[in-house]
Each structure stands twice: as C-alpha cells, then as structure tokens.
Structure 1
Amino acid sequence: MQNPAIQRLPLPCRRLGDGKYHHFFGYYNKSPWDRSDRYVLAHRVPMADADLTPDLVAQIGYFDTRDGDRFRTVGETRAWNWQMGAQLQWLDGAPGRQLIYNCRTDDESAFYPGLGAAICDVENGALRYLPMPVYVVAPDSRYALCVDYRRLYVTHQTIGYSDDSSLRARPSLDLAPAHDGIHAMEIATGQSRLIVSYQDLRNFHPVPSMDKAIHWVSHIEINPSSSRVLFLHRWTERVEDETCFLHRLITVNPDGTDMRLLECSDHPLPQLAGHFDPDAVGTFDYEKSEYQISHPLWKDDTHIIVWGPHDGSIHYHLYEDRAGGEVTVIGAGVLTENGHMTFSRTHPQWLLSDTYPDAQTSERVLFLYDVERGMRFDIGTFYTSPDLKKENRCDLHPRWSRDGRQICIDSIHDGDRQMYVLDAGSVAA
C-alpha cells in the first residue's frame, strides 16, 4: 500500500548541453551554479564510462544558461574521478567570478608530489596554482581543506586518484601516520598546516578495532560561516571490502582545536573471517549497510544532516554540533534508505535527496521532503545501467541552485552521462 506521506510529483526536466560530449558535475555537497544562477559548472569528457588512469583528461568549464546552454571551457585536468570529479567549485567569497579544481602538476617537491589545484578567473582567463589538491573550500574562500588522494585511492578507490596507468599497483601505506591527515591551506598564499593527523584520530576516543586498521578521512565539509568543520573518520583492516569499513562522525575547528565525537558505528565484523569473499559483495551493499555513517552535510552553522545509526536504529538524523547535543530523526517511516541529502539554503524546510538503484528495476528516485509537514514528494525516477562498476557509477547527486528554484543532477538514464536541470519553483520556492 502506498504510504500517504509519499506523493508522486514529477517535475519538468531538461538536459544541459547538446549531447555531443558527456558531462557531469560530481558530488551532492556543492552548488554548480554561480551566485547569479546563470553559469553551471561541469566536467566534459569524451566517454560515458572508463577505468581512470592518470592520462585521462577531463575538460573544465561551465554552461551559460542564458546563451543556449553554451559550454565554455576554461581548463583541463588529469586529477579527477567519476564520483567527485576534480572537486570543481566556485570561490564564492572571492571577487568577480573564480573557480577552483584539482590538477596534476610538475612539482615533485610538493607535499603530495605532482598534485595541486588551479584557480581560474573566468572573466579574464587568468590561471594560478596552489601546491595542494583541495577537498573543500570554505564558503568565505579564505582556506581549503586538503587530503592525500593517493591514500584515498588505496582505502576508498572510488574517490581517490591513481598514479598507476595499469590500475594494478597500490602503494603500501602507514596505518595512522602523524605527519599526514587533514591540512588547511590558505587560498591567497598556498601556505598550509596539518590540523588533524591520522595518529590524532586513532588516539581520539580509541576502540580496539582501530589497532590493526588503516585510517583515513572523507566527506569533509565546512559550515556556512566557515567556522566549523565536519568529517568522517574511517578505518578498516580490509580495504577491498567496503562492508568492513568502520565510521565516526567528528567535528573540529579549522585550526584543529575543539574536536568532538558525534557518532561512532564501531561494530563486529564477521567479514574479517578468512573464508569471506569480498567479491561477493554487491555494488550498493555498502551504501545500504545498517551501520554506515554517510553523506553528512551542514544544515546551518550548528546542525548536521546525515544518514547513519543512532541509539540502535538507522535513519536520516539531524545532529546538534555540541557535546551531548540533541539528535533528531528526520522522516521516520518515510525516509528509509541512504541518499545524498541537502537542505535548501533559501527555504530550509525542504530537504532534497535521492535513493540508490532498486535491486530489480535499477531505478533511482529523486525526491523532496518537507520537514515541516512530514511529506515526501517523488519528483523523478532515473534508470542506471547495472553494468556500471562501483568506481564508474553515475549517482544522481542532486544539488540546489542558489535561489532554491532549480535542481541539478548527473544521470545516465539516456545512455549518456549528462547533467539535467529540474524546475522546482512550483514546489520548493
């Protein structure tokens, strides 16, 4: 029987671009629109699917929605992946219209040799380079937070960068080094410093499952006022099997002080038994795990929306960022599976999210949830090929326009990897 709190409300949807190339933006956590809601950032590639090597190039540019969606190229990169692209994003706090993206460089003396970031001023085409690849830039554009993408390629290949053209070699890594972790880099100067090390994290409220595990961080996000950082601390003894990943949700100041543990999903791992076959794990089994903490994002300066377990059950949860802060279930009985969630900045009663593919139909649902009324509106369904591997899949990763009237997704339902815009003005504005 249909849940009365879930209604079907398809919204008008159009593709960006002429379809001669493939386009995607990447993750759900940033808006591809500039401040004027005219220009939409995108990566352009000649193929819909490929195993990534360091030689594959993605063009960097944007669609001009007031000029027939004309795509304008501003650069190119060989530091990207299908999930997050090159961490392409607007520098909202910078003057004019500037964007930043990760790239490969010739600087082998950099902290992460050969990897950095490029800043393009789209008004005059000027480029300048920074000595570290960025994960996320603060909304005020004063600093970025940076991690080792080669480490991510070992621990969580989907969001890492490889240096090996054969895609076979994975370097051995220290389990929890003291010299590496999350770095804060000044956008103006490129100067950086380590604010949280992997050793710090292993020693912060430790649990026995950390002792023999390799540690890393992901899903780093900065609150709207640029004053507070959230991230997921993850660890495992078996990197090849994501169902063996363990998770914590942590917040910290941008200088590394006042670190707080908001949630820990440490749990027994029968998968570590010698007879367990990690190849038997389905593409989306990890995303649907009852223990996973995933896709956290700031609702405002003091609250975080996340999918994960708390007090023995898994839901969309809203965390208050303070010791012993309140944790509230969002959408009990309605929002029942993992997704990529974002609150509207202009109309914060609206939560935008999606689902992973249905096991039988391979359809993903895109929906809006009205927190005030407890109503979910399914605004579109989109097919994805079950033949895509985990590293190459095309999640919807829905994102708001700045005025909260449009939604942008990546999708491959027409056979091409493209970006689509849905008109949400009649519903969410």
Structure 2
Amino acid sequence: MSDKIIDVSGEVPIRRVGDGEKHSFFGYYNKTNFGPADTRLLGNRTPLFTGNLTGRETAEVGFFDLANGDRWHKLGETTAWNWQMGCQLQWLGQSNRAIYNTRATGPATATNIYPDFRSRVVDADTGEDRELPAPIYVMAPDGSFALTINYARFIRTHRTIGYPATQSEPELKLAPEDDGIWRMDIETGETNLICSLKRLFDFEHVASMDNAMHWITHMEVNPSGTRFLFIHRWTERPDDEFCYLHRLYTINGDGTDLRLLEDTDHPLPQLAEDFDPSQHGTFDYEKSEWQISHPLWKSDDEVIVWGPHQGEIHYQLYNDRTGSVAQVGPGILTENGHMTYGTDGRWMLSDTYPDAATDKRALFLYDCDRDLRYDLGSFYTPSDLGKHNRCDLHPRWSRDNRQVCIDSVHEGPRQMYLLDIGPLIDRLS
C-alpha cells in the first residue's frame, strides 16, 4: 500500500441507523439525506432485500429522527424507485420539505411530459403534500427548480436506474426533438424542455451516433444554480453497456451556452460478433478505460469526474470556464467511485467498487491540500447480488461535514450506517 494511503478505520465509530425492522437505504451519493439541522435522515424502507423490480413493489418514504432514538417517520409511499437511486428522495434546499418520485395514479394532462411518473413534495413537520406534474432527477441547491429526464429511456438503456412503465414500455425514437432535459419550477410546476436529444445528436456530430439510441444521465446543478452538467450517452447495443459511448457537457440553466468537456467516442471491439459480455464481471464496466462516470461540481467552475483524458483514465478536475484539466490524486485514487466534496473543498469523500478477490469496497477521505487518502473502512458485499440489486456505499456528507452516511450490506441486511468523522477531521486539520 502507498504511504499516502492511511488506514484510520480504528478511530472512526460506525453504527447502524434504526432498529433494522425493514431493509433501509437512501440511494445515490450526489445529495445529502441529512436535514437542515443534521437530526433528520431521509431514507426508504422495504421488506425486500433484493428483487428485479416490476414497478408494483412499494417502498416507504420517510426519515429517521436521529435526535429521538432513530424513530422512523413515514412521509409517504412510492412504486417509482430502484435500488441504486431510490425514488430520488431529497430535501428542498434548507427547508423541512422533501421531494420524491411517484407513479401516476390518474390520466395524464398536457402538463405531464411523461405520463407514468410524477413527483410529490411533503412537509416533514405538518405532513402537508402536493403533486408536481413531472418526476425529478436532480434539484437546484436552493430547491427552486428540478431537472428531469425520461425514465423510460433508462429501462431501455440502463435498467438499474429506471422505473418500469405502469402498463407497457413506450416506443422510443433514437434522438427526438421532444425528449431530453426538462426544467420544472417547484412552486408552479411549469416544465420546459431546455436541451433536446436531437440537439446533442447534431452537436459536433460523429458517425457512431447515426443508428444509436441516445439518452442523458448524471445531471448535476452547480452550487449557485446557474449551470449544470450531464453525460450524453449513445449506443447501437443498449443491452451491452461495454458498447456505450460518452460525452460530458455543461450548460446554462436556461439551455444556452452548451460546452463539451470530454468526448470518448472510440473504436468498439465489443461490436465483434464473437464478443460475449457474460464473460465480464458485475463491476468490470465501472472500471472500463473509456467510462465517464459520477461527475460532480466542486465549485461553480470546477467539475470532478472519473474518466479518460488524453488517453489516461483518472479522477479528473475540469475547469468549466478555461477548459483546463488536472488529475486528482494520481497514484492514490486509482479506481472509479462516488465522490463528493465537503463544503470547504479540502476534503473529498469517495468509495471504490468491490475488490474481485475479497468482495470488499473501501470508503475514504482524500485530503486535496496534502494529497493523502484516509481509509475510513472496508465493507463486504455478496458477489451474487448482481448489477440491478447491488448495494453501493454511495457515501453522503452531513451538512456540518462531521458525519458520513452510507448504504451497506456488510452485516447481512440492507441498511444505512453513520460514521462519526468529526474528531478525525479535527485531528487532521
């Protein structure tokens, strides 16, 4: 092990959240599930441990009261969820209101851009709730607007993060004018298409796009809410993720000033007739040399991502204004992971995918100032969970940056855990 990788797991207390009555999890890494005072912890609960979801399974939506013995408060239920992202549950800015995706129960109207799915806002104090006409993918930091996409495309291209249709899956055009990235105002529900798939198809067009299915993923809004990033993917073989092609973009919140940060259009040996994707492991794609994944804003102008640049794949830091690119943690951060920065930009929290020999994944802090990695723990995951049912750690900061929440199955059931990193941060600072 490198002398720049330091095991500090012995000084980081960890505990399971709740009584374990049901399986609990939050989902993705790119948002905090801690409430404004760090005493409420959003999550989903279900009696299921695994299962190939059909869209009929129900998950409870709510929060654990960390100041009152982890008491569970149910806010609602949903059938629009998956194991990786949950129901996109998140807080609205600094308020005590939460928002999450739901399945439509009534007929669609002209304002429902995708007939099967909606979103719901609920006040955690009063229980008052209301429905919005579209699902959400990511929220602006202040809670004023959401960005969304067509979850039906995920069922065709990336089922792990999609929601099955209520009845039958819709027919999808390859790169239409009327599908892409939508912006929804949270107070009014007004929804507008701000970047179409056809626009991305036409932008610096390459031949590999011609007969490919196109979709958008990994949208993130910068801290001030003025620009957002996303990944545009396309492929002729949606069932084989090794054939995905990727571009990383940023764009203004109104859809203007589209900028291409990275392009991984490349030859695909996987298109050979004798290519057998079953010969690859569950996480081999996540470690692909061409993968662009998990981009996130470090600041209004800086984007961290795992991806290739000039023939080498690393944690890369892009400057959205200047176009410059710098490696982050070369020789230390050598694997794809789910990374987010603390509020001061010094500390980066991330994880790894399971080691092929031990089925364990690492959770760590990276000190950007000193170029040191501190391993907080190593967590076992069964190798037979598969792609759709897996439980990534997806580490998430508390708002005061003194706790970390993860999803894990290292003790058997799917549960959320809290790590107390406050004393460690104090010592290292």
Q: Under TM normalisation by the shorter chain, which class is it?
A: over 0.9
Report the counterpart of residue 85 of structure 1 in structure 2: 86
Gaps of 5+ in 2: none
1:354-404 CA-partner distances (Å, limit 9, x unpaired): 000000110000011101111111110000010101011000000100000
Mean CA deviation greater in 107-116 or 352-361: 107-116
Counterpart of 2:300 in structure 1 is: 301
Which SS does the other structure have where 2:215 is aligned?
strand
How much does 1:142 deviate?
1.4
1:220 partnered with 2:222: no
Contact persistence 1:350–1:428 (CA under 8 A): no
1:339 aligns with 2:337: yes
Percent of matched pairs sharing the same residue: 55
- The alignment's TM-score, normalised by the length of structure 1, stands at 0.96
Tell me, yes or no, if the aligned pair for 1:241 and 1:281 is still in contact at 8 Å.
no
1:141 Cα shift? 1.4
Could you tell me how far 1:275 is from its partner in structure 2? Answer: 2.2
1:391 matches 2:391: no
Q: CA deviation at 1:171?
A: 4.6
Aligned to 2:374: 377
1:96-126 Cα shifts (integer Å, max 9, x gaps): 4100000012233222113100000111101
Q: Are positions 1:351 and 2:353 aligned together?
A: no
Q: Is the Cα–Cα contact under 8 Å of residues 354 and 397 in structure 1 kept in the other structure?
A: yes
CA contact (8 A) 1:107 1:113 kept: no
- 1:24 shift after superposition: 0.3
**Distance (Å, rounded) in 2 between the aligned partners of 1:377 and 1:249:** 29
Structure-2 separation of matches of 1:222 and 1:371: 22
Query: 1:14-58 deviations in whole A, cap 9, x for unaligned?
Result: 000111111000000000001111100000010111111111000
Match of 2:154 in 1: 152
For residue 358 of structure 1, what is the amino acid of its counterpart?
D
Aligned to 2:47: 46
Asked whether the equivalents of residues 25 and 41 of structure 1 are also in contact (C-alpha less than 8 Å), the reply is yes
**Correspondences of 1:4-403 after superposition (within 5 Å):** 4-10=3-9, 11-93=12-94, 96-109=95-108, 110-163=112-165, 171-322=170-321, 324-345=322-343, 347-403=344-400
Structure 1 residue 344 displacement after superposition: 0.3
Partner SS state of residue 216, structure 2: strand
Please report the RMSD computed on the Cα atoms of aligned residues, expressed in angstroms.
1.2
Instruction: Verify the 8 A CA contact 2:147 2:181 in the aligned structure 1.
Output: yes
In the alignment, is the contact (CA less than 8 A) between 2:82 and 2:163 conserved in 1? yes
| Distance in 2 between residues matched to 1:275 and 1:108, nearest whole Å | 46
Q: How many residues align?
A: 421
* Contact 1:107–1:114, Cα closer than 8 Å, also in 2: no
CA distance in 2, matches of 1:207, 1:422: 46
Helix, strand or coil for the counterpart of 2:234? strand
Give the counterpart letter for 2:363 in structure 1: L
Structure 1 residue 170: Cα displacement: 5.3
User: For residues 310-355 of structure 1, what are the alpha-carbon distances to aligned partners after superposition, in whole Å with 9 as ceiling and x for unaligned?
Assistant: 1110110111012x5211100010000100001101x321111000
Supply the distance in 2 between the matched residues of 1:170 and 1:107 (Cα, whole angstroms): 18
1:274 Cα deviation after fit: 2.0
Contact (CA 8 Å) 1:61, 1:75: kept in 2 or not?
Answer: yes
Question: Quick check: 2:302–2:318 contact (8 Å CA) kept in 1?
Answer: yes
Instruction: Give 1:296 deviation, angstroms.
Output: 0.3
Secondary structure class of the residue paired with 1:287: helix
Whole-Å separation in 2 of the counterparts to 1:218 and 1:108: 27
Q: For the Cα contact (< 8 Å) 1:98–1:122, is it kept in 2?
A: yes
More deviation in 347-356 or 395-404? 347-356
Q: Which runs of 5+ in 1 are unaligned?
A: none
Q: CA deviation at 1:179?
A: 0.5
CA displacement at 1:164 relative to structure 2: 6.3
